[in-house]
Amino acid sequence: MPSSATVVPAATIAPAQRIPASAWVLLVVLACIWGTSFILMKKGLEVFSALELGAARVSIAALVLLPFGLRHVRRVERGRFKYLLLSGVVGTFIPAFLFAYAETKLASGLAGVLNALTVVFTLLVGALFFRQRITPLRALGIGLGFVGTVVLMGLGGSGGSATPTGLGNAWYGLYIVLATMGYGVSVNVIKHQLHGLPSLAVTSLILLLIGGPALIFLFGFTDFLTKLSNVPGAWSALGYIALLAFMSTAVAMVLFNKLIQESTALFASSNTYLVPIVALGWGVLDGETINLLHCLGMIIILGGVFMVNKAK
């Protein structure tokens, strides 16, 4: 999933305009990057624990954007750093661990679908705390999102495999629901409290603030280094995590900002519908299975997200 600093709130819809071919290319590339992030987490978890993966992901991403964070640290008003820290904790730090925990028992494809709830929670948090208006169609979309989640985690999850390659243990999806709630809070904090700051500055400063604790935890309180030295396949698993951190944070953020410039916010947010397709595709190729109830839950969730994005 993109950093919360790059999620487009449903309310920010630009006027209709012609979409150039380059924007379509960027949209597909972004969907491939973010859709692939779930299978990369799964591969990293073959060696490392959820705590190690989450800490390594944040640490590597912070190191990648460290030069940009240091460049912007003196250009931002001191009063805004509390909002940067809040956004970083609930929108990046905690979700990194929640997604990792979820994928210890949850199929990567299902994780990709549940991630689409970010749009729903962005609107819901905006309505509850930031006076954002909810139209009847958007309210219906929020309701459908929750119904689809229940279908996926309750009905669709019953009787499945108890391994990460199956869709059993679907109640681990609650970790992802909590993570998307954090994304919703973070997006609204950025929108209302950090407006006017470049996206690169927001993302790099967020990672600058949370990267230190992640590094300390990774090297001081986990078996990360021991596994790198002694466990076969550890370096390959670290490669997957590094690719996850680099592509889904640094590269994807730059591409997403370019997409916004070349198209509209609504068009850019349509990656919400493509990411689950890519995630499911990788999951199937890796041996994960889906049934009709899973498909029904996915359709309901994406239908709800469509209503939230479409309504004005």
Which pLDDT tens digit goes with each residue over 42-100? 999 999 999 999 999 999 999 999 999 999 999 999 999 999 999 999 999 999 999 99
Q: What span, in angstroms and rounded, lies between the C-alpha atoms of 38 and 33?
A: 10
Read off the pLDDT of each residue in 162-168 and give the average, rounded to a whole number.
Answer: 44
| Burial label, 17 (beta-carbon count in 10 A; 0-12, 13-18, 19+) | exposed
Q: Check residue 170 and give its pLDDT.
A: 67
Domain presence at residue 5:
no
Q: pTM, whole model, 2 decimals?
A: 0.86
224 pLDDT more than 80? yes
Task: Report the mean per-residue pLDDT for the chain.
Answer: 85
Domain presence at residue 19:
no
Domain presence at residue 1:
no
How many domains does the chain fold into? 1
Domain presence at residue 62:
yes
What's the pLDDT band for 12 if we cut at 50, 70, 90? very low
Both tokens of 7, joined, read 């999620």
Nearest by Cα to 22 from 267, 259, 275, 273? 259
Q: What span, in angstroms and rounded, lies between the C-alpha atoms of 268 and 201?
A: 20
Read off the pLDDT of each residue in 189-211 and give the average, rounded to a whole number.
Answer: 90
Nearest by Cα to 142 from 126, 158, 131? 126
Which of 202-211, 243-252, 277-286 has the highest average model confidence (pLDDT)? 202-211
Domain presence at residue 173:
yes
* CB atoms closer than 10 angstroms to residue 220: 8
Would you give the DSSP letter of residue 251?
I
Q: Check residue 275 and give its pLDDT.
A: 86
Which is higher by pLDDT, 256 or 269? 256
Q: What span, in angstroms and rounded, lies between the C-alpha atoms of 265 and 243?
A: 27
Q: What span, in angstroms and rounded, lies between the C-alpha atoms of 222 and 220?
A: 6
Q: Check residue 4 and give its pLDDT.
A: 53
Domain presence at residue 45:
yes
- Residue 235's domain comprises 32-310
Domain presence at residue 12:
no
Domain presence at residue 199:
yes
Q: What span, in angstroms and rounded, lies between the C-alpha atoms of 144 and 138?
A: 10
Both tokens of 166, joined, read 């199956």
Q: Check residue 2 and give its pLDDT.
A: 53
